[in-house]
Structure 1
Amino acid sequence: MGERSFRDKVSRLRQAYAPHEHRPLGGYLVAMGGYAGLLGTLATAVKLTGRPLPSRPSTADIVLVSIATHKLSRVLSKDAVTSPIRAPFTQYDKPIGSGEVMEQVRDQGSGTRHAIGELLSCPFCLAVWIATGLTGGLVLAPRLTRLAATALTAVAASDFLQMAYAMAQQAAQGQAKPDASD
């Protein structure tokens, strides 16, 4: 199938799927292809290194990877400091507290750019990619992956403690709204 024919089919599919709203289905296909590429790369690396796959992940690794995935997906998709990564695909909207920002996906540009903007600004969407990378890391470089995941988990726990401290401090002062950025 030629590129023109493929684009025509995607355009017709997009029109049938969401006639009154722009949905970058072609961009989503590119993103899914990138994810498939990530999986293929991990599988190839596991095969080439001869690393054995665990019969089942340990509960401790599942908890560690889950919390690390949560934290890294928030850092990459919402932290003000990582906004330069997202800037080509998103536009700053407003601060949302605790060092995080709200951004809007850029509408101008390609469907791929839009899809990447959605991926990079959505912690739920990004978590799939991060969990896949960390899980692959547990097979290919388990000590390094556990060390990095431990650091991310410690930061996530610290975030909750900072917010609990701010809430307790404000409750002691008789204030109604907590502001964890203090």
Structure 2
Amino acid sequence: MTLFGGLAGVAGVVAALRGTAERRISPYDLLLMTAATHKLARLIAKDAVTSPLRMPFTRYRETGGPAEVMEEPREEGQLRHAVGELVSCPFCLAVWVATGFSIGFLFAPRFTRVVASMLTAVAGSDYLRLIYASLQQSAEQQK
């Protein structure tokens, strides 16, 4: 919590000194940031591809949703356990990711918009794929 508070505080002070603290996030950017936050938090916390990054802090438990794994925090050491709790929980990570996007919109809005757009497109693609699979499964059950 100290790290998070310090990061947010330093970003706020720098934004005030640079005059970027007056920037507003548009409703469009907020929707973009919302979808991108959801996708990036899940990508970090649950994606099988990112499991090597979580490995020092988590243990594999079982498979989760499509291309996802369920992990639990390692018990050895308080810091390792705390980081494990954070990196295995998309809800916990969302606060950090949204803060990162907010800071990005303050200091590098164009770049942040591109990254958020890409993640939003991937999230949309994921949901379309899940809807397609569900419709396909329903059609097969009706046969």
The match for 1:87 is: 55
- SS of match in other structure, 1:174: helix
Offset of residue 171 of structure 1: 1.2
Offset of residue 84 of structure 1: 1.1
Q: How many residues are treated as equivalent by the alignment?
A: 142
The match for 1:43 is: 12
Offset of residue 58 of structure 1: 1.1
Whether the 8 Å CA contact 2:12–2:21 is kept in 1: the answer is no
> Over aligned residues, Cα RMSD in angstroms?
1.5
Match for residue 25 of structure 2 among 46, 50, 57: 57
1:65-80 matches, cutoff 5 A: 65-80=33-48
Whether the 8 Å CA contact 1:51–1:139 is kept in 2: the answer is no
The match for 1:153 is: 120
Larger Rg: 1
The match for 1:125 is: 92
> What TM-score do you get using the length of structure 1 for normalisation?
0.73
Tell me the amino acid that sits aligned with residue 28 of structure 2: A
Which protein is richer in helix relative to its size?
2
Q: Once the two structures are superposed, what CA deviation does each residue of 1:6-55 show, in whole Å capped at 9, x if it has no partner? A: xxxxxxxxxxxxxxxxxxxxxxxxxx01112221332244245x142246
- Alpha-carbon distance between aligned partners in 2 of 1:62 and 1:101, rounded to the nearest angstrom: 29
Q: Once the two structures are superposed, what CA deviation does each residue of 1:105-151 show, in whole Å capped at 9, x if it has no partner? A: 1112x211111100000000000000000001001000000000000
Q: Percent identity?
A: 51
Q: Once the two structures are superposed, what CA deviation does each residue of 1:153-179 show, in whole Å capped at 9, x if it has no partner? A: 00111011000110111111117xxxx
- Alpha-carbon distance between aligned partners in 2 of 1:83 and 1:166, rounded to the nearest angstrom: 25
> What TM-score do you get using the length of structure 2 for normalisation?
0.92
5+ residue gaps, structure 1, are: 1-31, 176-182
- SS of match in other structure, 1:53: coil
- Alpha-carbon distance between aligned partners in 1 of 2:128 and 2:63, rounded to the nearest angstrom: 21
